[in-house]
Amino acid sequence: MATRAKPSSRGRPSAEPEDGDPGAVKIATFNVNGVNGRLPLLLRWLEEATPDIVCLQELKAPQGKFPLGAIEAAGYRAVWHGQSRWNGVAILSRGSEPIETRRGLPGDDAESDSRYIEAAVKGVLIGCLYLPNGNPAPGPKFERKLDWFRRFTEHAATLLASGAPVILAGDYNTMPTDLDVHRPERWTDDALFRPEVREAFEGLTGQGWTDAVRALHPGERLYTFWDYLRTAWERDAGLRLDHLLLSPNLSGRLAAAEIDRHVRGWDHASDHAPVWISLTGEASSR
């Protein structure tokens, strides 16, 4: 696939699809940490990055307060699963209508948080998720996190069995390895890094999913989240919490995977940076 050089946050070019590949698609995930409060930042990034598909987390807006008008004015259609004050997920599609296929996980009830939405977009099935934080651990919140992870993994297995091309993108609130966390020795008892959570992530990817960012950056220390406290951004004391997992029938199309970490440095930024991948129209030879 032809690519063009684009400055990346690591000071070197990153690959981005050219228009010469009509089947190429760019998919991003972004925990926006309040879609209305950070709408100008989101719109600025959409204009700069021009992703084809975007998964958003932490909308922090009820269903009727999603800023659909502004999103559509930017060229995107959307489906979303809102919730007052907390949580909330959405899938945006540039120039086409996402077809919602599921809202919530199997086993959710009327009191469940808004943490999962699924839609068919541009020939791919997209699952957008916001996995619970789980702190303090151990405790009831941690047990709820593990239960949610278990039900999500079961649902992921059914998606694989369907044979559809699938991407599971979002904020997993999980650092899978020591490379995904600054000073890992300080996080051993945290719900984001406890052995049970890393084992759950390993069990999920063990079904056959490809961690897209790690597949293309196997030895790099990479972060997608920097806390507002303790000058974490300035010290680059981050965590890699945001992941895009590809079904086996998509892994051969993976052309690029990058983190737009410069967005974390913008005024009034989210504590997460957008993460994106590009897929070729056909399987690549990498």
223 is catalytic: no
Inter-residue contact 146 to 154 (CB < 8 Å):
no
DSSP 40-55: HHHHHHHHHH--SEEE
Token output for 166: 């699938």
Catalytic residue, chosen from 52, 171, 180, 211, is 171
- Spatial distance between the Cα atoms of 215 and 144, rounded to a whole number of angstroms: 29
Tell me which H or E stretch contains 13. strand 13-17
Which of 76, 116, 130, 172 is catalytic? The answer is: 130
Q: How many CB atoms lie within 10 A of CB 144?
A: 14
SS3 assignment, position 202: helix
Q: 3-state SS string over 70-95?
A: HHHHCCEEEEEECCCCCCCEEEEEEC
DSSP state letter for 267: T
Spatial distance between the Cα atoms of 260 and 45, rounded to a whole number of angstroms: 9
Alpha carbon 50 to chain centroid distance?
16
Residues 6 or more apart whose CB falls under 8 angstroms from that of 139 comprise: none
Active site (annotated) includes residue 172? no
Backbone torsions φ then ψ of 213, nearest 5 degrees:
-65, -45
Burial of 11 (0-12, 13-18, 19+ CB in 10 A): exposed
Q: What is the dihedral of CA 197, 260, 92, 31, to 10 degrees?
A: 40
Query: What's the number of CA atoms in the CB half-sphere (13 Å) around residue 54?
Result: 26
Catalytic (active-site) positions: 130, 171
